[in-house]
Structure 1
Amino acid sequence: MANARTDERKRSGAMRVFVWVGALVLILAVVGTAAWFYLARELDARVSSALDAAAGGGTTIDCPNRKVFGYPFRIGLHCDSIAVESASSGIKASAGALRTAAQIYDPTRIVGELDGPLLVDAPNLPPLEMTWELAQASTNLFTQGLMRMSLAVDQPALAIRSADGGAAQAPLLTSQRLEIHLARNGETLLAALSDDGVAGQLPNGVALPSLNVLADVSVDSAGDWLVRGVPGGRLDEALRGRSGQLRNVSFAFADNVPGSVALSGPFQIAADGRISGDFRLAVADADRIAGAVNALVPGLGGVMQAVAGAITFAGRQENGTSVIDVQVRNGEMRLGFIPLGRLPPI
């Protein structure tokens, strides 16, 4: 009898624990559900407010069939397509479905995917179309707003659309993978770009050799560009009057073809767009690089031929490359006292 009463008390205690655990789970589920739907309403309201604010500033953003999704562990926004039109700049762009999401326990990190194609119409440019296999982005937010943003695009291809709305022409540019990373470090903007296997044909009919492109740049007093955007909407004008650092800007022939050029050093840009700075230029197979630049950008051909000659004459060897130190003052390039040419203003 004593053993029976002991077993009954154990079963009763276990049942009470089970009931309390079940009640706790139910309470958490109710609270979590209420919190998710509150956040969903808040997200939808803030998106509506942002769209209205953009429209008030002259930029129309269309997000048809907008909905918030992801219950219970994620929260995100879905649009069947996305379209942006700026009355002031005359730029129009549209793309396929947009999907963004954040984990409910870490809403400061947002990831997104965009379906192609991207269609762009802009003044002084032909109608453009960009396609890809996969386009993903991620952002990190903090109390001061956007702190970091990354974009990765697999197999991007850029082409000119037919004027009559038909199929796009053969791609002007293709690459294997494009990555762009932007971040704030205090008041400094950090920007990095890599594009592997860039190839194609320019509008002038010149074939572009397959290249691997890398850029790692910082711009002083531009950290707020991530939040406020580029002042005036034009990067060339926004860079005037600013300084920064080229950590590494390089171009290299792909597919094990010899030839590369890498540039690094501090720079300053005057109010009239003229560039000054002290740069380290490292080149492998200078004549091949100069020939490629001359074919692609005839206006810089003379400068590159002068640089190639200077490298042959005065370059020092470091890790299989020829290196020279180039001084640029108000656009005028010099190797010591030897003039190399002038850079056009930005």
Structure 2
Amino acid sequence: MAAHRKPRHLSAGGGRARKAATLALAGVATATVFDGSGHAAPDPTPAQVKAEVDTLYREAEAATEQYNGAKEKADQARKRLGLLQDEAARKEERLNSEREALGASAAAQYRSGGLDPAVQLALSDDPDAFLDGAAFAERAGDRHSAAVTRVRGRLREIERLRGSARVELAALSSRRAELERHKATIDGKLTSARRLLARLTAEDRARLSGPATGNPAPMTVAAAPNARAAAAVSYARQKLGSPYVWGATGPDAFDCSGLMQAAYRAAGVALPRTTYAQIDTGRRISRDALRPGDLVFFYSGISHVGLYIGDGRMIHAPNPSAPVRVAPIDQMPFAGATRVV
């Protein structure tokens, strides 16, 4: 038989030891809230919040440019898919018409093909008319053969178009998934930034966003080198004070590259959608050669862009906490510039 053990009774000293251990564990857990001196960790200073929020905004903007690039490619894939589907539909219409004509021709040949041509000639009331008809039938046979060839060609074309459409549809699905990933990243970064800013007073938040430089009437802008550059600068001036919205290209809200695209669209120039594509438009120029209308880019990942207006300043869409405004170009790490026109 198995041996039975009696319950083990803890001594009063053992109970005290267990209680002390529990209190020690509670102290360890509490240490995550209080610092070593027993006081709650201090709230970050406005400067620390600004530094962290700026980092989050830069990361969100980089994700925004990736989103913009993926959206541009998704739009292109959607357009190509639509064109392929339209072309396939047109070819299917022609195919159906040719199939009907081919079927009617085959039925007619079947109905009239029971007698030997010599017998048909002998029985004909009008041999001359029959001979003319025989020649027409021979030509019709040639047309019948050509029709079959055309139908086969149409089938091959339609299958090719359907294959291309399947490729575009797969690309579109992939781009949509990529868009969702970038959107989730952007939303996460902006949510974190909003939570940090919510911990500040209204006065501190106002100081962090900086003064809204942006009344277009009194603002002086250096003369642009040509009419198109002048038109782009003029458009950007009219949009001072417009809100920053990621993915927006106007007319009432913008992200940084969306503002550049809209400004040059107003000047009759088509720019690509993203900062890293815009920097390769036109020709690169040095910082000391800048003129109004040039695009100026910032950060090593080319994640931000502004429109130079002269005197070391630009118009840009900064981030969700600040509207379209004028700012010095030396407030961010300069990465390069390009002259579009």
TM category, shorter: under 0.3
Higher relative contact order (CA 8 A, sep 6+): 2
User: Higher helix share goes to which structure?
Assistant: 2
Q: Of the two, which has the highest radius of gyration?
A: 2
When normalised by structure 1's length, the TM-score is: 0.26
User: Higher strand share goes to which structure?
Assistant: 1
